[in-house]
Amino acid sequence: MSFEWPWQHSFPPFFTLQPNVDTRQKQLAAWCSLALTYCRHHKLYTLDVMEAQESPMFNNKKIERKLSMEAIQVVFEELRKKGNLEWLDKNKSRCLVMWRRPEEWGKLIYQWVSKNGMVNTVFTLYELSNGDDTEGEEFHGLEDWMLLRSLQALQAEGKAEIITMDDGKGVKFF
Amino acid sequence: MDRFSWSNGLLEINETLVIQQRGVRLYDGDDKAKLDVGVALLSTHRLIWRDVKNHECCIAMPLSQIIFFEEQAAGIGKSAKIVIHLYPVPANKEPGPYQHSKYPYIKLSFKEHGQIEFYRRLTEEMTQKRWESTSLSQPIPTGTSPQVGRKTHAVGIIGIERKIDEINTVCLFTNHNRGHQTLCSALVLLCKMVELSRSIANKIKDKQGDITEDETIRFKSYLLSMGIADPVTRETHGSGTHYHLQLAKQLGDMLQAPLEERGGMMALTEVYCLVNRARGMELLSPEDLVNACKMFESLKLPLRLRVFDSGVMVVQLQSHSEEEMIASALDNVSDKGSLTAEEFAKLLGLSVLLSKERLLLAEKMGHLCRDDSVEGLRFYPNLF
């Protein structure tokens, strides 16, 4: 399934940070949405800022427009404020993109667990993300760090407990 | 040269040496002084000269004697000089090498260079006038008043006469040496004249009752033509003078038609050019134009001076509608898909400056958005 670009992506002004405050808000909202759907579609969990500048997301070669580094940072800051992005380093060169927030993942996983009557069972992390049983689920293929955070979110809600085992981590659902 | 007095050349307690220069010959006006080449010394209080061979031969003059001074460039076979214009000899002057002189100025000829630095230091000392604040133990004829060391301003008739003396000297010198005038001297001249005008303006303000109405008006117009706002009228009338009022009414009539031709708005620079071209003589200064335009509203004229965010100033018809302007901008841009300021200007027959302001205004209202790239700044309808 090929990615469907939103109409803004072919609109040249989309790539200029708008000075009018109201217009800018709408622009940034559109950028955030585009960034998240793009990462989701391509199952991207981390972004390198330099690489991102050249990716088709921020660089539309057809209309010869791309977002400046300054604008990209503004978009990323918006994402961070909304809880969808986390910087991996102080220099802000790499970041984690959470097109779904940990709480949302946690909810999905828990739904699957309870739907299949597997509450009170212990799973290894690998089983959850890469097991045959979970194939077809959205959280299949979820990167470890993301999975862990989601389970931590569930743990905070009292719906799971993370266990440290000999060869790694596991989780028990309540 | 008759302003100099014999001196022992020793500095007083509060006096500091600023600079000294060898190889200086003195001139009484245009004639070589009957002295040899020596050392010129500048202190905070005096100009001192000492013969190189005979140290006993030493003369000094207080800096307060100096009206003004200027550089005279070197020529073929001639050294660079500093020409110093002096006040008349004070009555209590100590004896010196010359009893009297037919020249009101002297020259320092720098045979071994050093004139640039000396001139600079002299300028500094004459600006700071440090001799006024620190008194010397020995009473030195200051040339301004018999009192020693105190900062006194010559007041009353004597003060005015001295100022007139000053002006005369300056004018004489200017006329005499027209060919040698440097930019520097022109500036010095200007400063003195402005200073003079201000001081006379103040005197007029004080002596309001003693000077006739007619003289006052003449003097005020003289001041105005020199670019000094009349302090009296500004106080009594608040903002704007009678002159600006009249001017504003004139502009109101003159600009009606041109404004309508140009869609109700003209940049102030365009107005300035238009008005001055029509006047031919007695041109308006930019300041006068702005001040007159500021009065449109209070005079209930159908024109307004308006300043955009960018600082651009325009005159617009009061009937001019903002909404219409923005709506038409949006129409034009939508029609063409997108427009740059230049394209828009061509379309409307406006100046690029004004057309850009319109686009910016429409953007500010949220009707347009911008595309800023290497290709330039382009405006699109705001589809966000």
Q: What is the DSSP letter of B240?
A: S
Q: Which domain CATH number covers A168?
A: 1.10.10.10
pTM, entire model: 0.51
Q: Does B372 touch chain A (CB under 8 A)?
A: yes
Residues A152 and A126 in one domain: yes
Residues A81 and A126 in one domain: no
Mean pLDDT of A6-13: 92
Mean pLDDT of B128-156: 54
| Cβ contact B71:B183 at 8 Å | no
What average pLDDT does chain B have? 79
Q: Is A19 within the bounds of a domain?
A: yes
**Phi first, then psi: what are they for A20, rounded to 5°?**
-70, 125
From A11, A15, A64, residue closest to B383, measured CB to CB: A11
CB-CB under 8 Å, A26 with B373: no
Å from A20 to nearest chain B CA? Answer: 6
Q: Is A2 within the bounds of a domain?
A: no
ipTM value > 0.90: no
Residues A12 and A92 in one domain: yes
Q: Is A1 within the bounds of a domain?
A: no
Å from B363 to nearest chain A CA? Answer: 7
Using CB atoms and an 8 Å cut-off, which of residues 42-101 of chain A contact chain B? Answer: 64-65
Q: Which domain CATH number covers A77?
A: 1.10.10.570
Instruction: Note the helical H segments in chain B.
Output: 115-128, 130-133, 156-176, 183-206, 213-225, 231-237, 242-261, 268-279, 286-293, 322-336, 341-348, 352-364
Q: Does B384 touch chain A (CB under 8 A)?
A: yes
From A7, A16, A20, residue closest to B364, measured CB to CB: A20
Evaluated on CA atoms A9, A11, A13, A18, the torsion sign reads negative
**Strands A168-173 and B66-72, how do they pair?**
unpaired
Q: Does B373 touch chain A (CB under 8 A)?
A: yes
Q: Is B40 helix (H, G, I), strand (E, B) or coil?
A: strand
Residue that the structure tokens 């001041």 belong to? B223
Residue contacts between A and B (CB atoms, under 8 Å)? 44
Q: Domain boundary residue among A76, A97, A118?
A: A97
Residues A11 and A86 in one domain: yes
| Cβ contact B4:B97 at 8 Å | yes
The pLDDT value recorded for residue B181 is 43
Residue numbers in B near A15 (CB within 8 A) = 371, 373
What average pLDDT does chain A have? 89
Closest residue on chain B to A31 (Cα): B384
pLDDT tens figures, B274-331 = 988 888 777 888 888 898 898 888 888 888 898 988 888 999 888 777 788 888 889 9
Mean pLDDT of A5-30: 93
Residues A66 and A110 in one domain: no
Residues A91 and A141 in one domain: no
CB-CB under 8 Å, A26 with B371: no
The pLDDT value recorded for residue B165 is 64
Residues A17 and A72 in one domain: yes
The pLDDT value recorded for residue A73 is 92
Q: Domain boundary residue among A66, A97, A128?
A: A97
Residues A93 and A117 in one domain: no
| Cβ contact A17:A58 at 8 Å | no
Angle at A85 between CA A84 and CA A89, to 5 degrees: 165
Å from A17 to nearest chain B CA? Answer: 8
CB-CB under 8 Å, A65 with B338: no
Å from B323 to nearest chain A CA? Answer: 18
Domain count, chain A: 2
Tally Cβ neighbours within 10 Å of residue B146: 11
Given a cut of 70, is residue B138 above it in pLDDT? no
Domain that holds residue A46: 7-97
Q: Does B383 touch chain A (CB under 8 A)?
A: yes
| Token pair belonging to A159 | 């719906």
| Cβ contact B81:B108 at 8 Å | yes
Residues A80 and A114 in one domain: no
The pLDDT value recorded for residue B151 is 37
Q: Identify the H or E element spanning A127.
A: helix A125-130
**CB within 8 A of B246, min separation 6: which ones?**
none
Distance CA A110, CA A89 (A): 31
**CB within 8 A of B107, min separation 6: which ones?**
B26, B27, B29, B30, B72, B81, B82, B83, B84
Distance CA B266, CA B272 (A): 10
The pLDDT value recorded for residue A138 is 83
From B366, B371, B372, residue closest to A23, measured CB to CB: B366
Residues A39 and A60 in one domain: yes
Residue numbers in B near A22 (CB within 8 A) = 366
Q: With pLDDT > 90 as the criterion, what percentage of chain B qualifies?
A: 20
The pLDDT value recorded for residue B150 is 36
Mean pLDDT of A3-8: 90
Distance CA A12, CA B369 (A): 10
Q: Domain boundary residue among A97, A128, A157?
A: A97
The pLDDT value recorded for residue B144 is 44
Q: Which residues face B229 on adjacent strands? A: none
When scoring B360, B369, B377 by the number of chain A Cβ atoms within 10 A, the one with the most, hence best to mutate, is B369
Residues A42 and A106 in one domain: no
Q: Is A169 within the bounds of a domain?
A: yes
Q: Is A41 within the bounds of a domain?
A: yes
Residues A59 and A133 in one domain: no
CB-CB under 8 Å, A27 with B380: no
**Strands B313-317 and A59-60, how do they pair?**
unpaired
How is B50-112 classified by DSSP, letter by letter? EESS-TT-EEEEEGGGEEEEEEE--BTTB-EEEEEEEPPPPTTPPP-S-S--S-SEEEEEETT
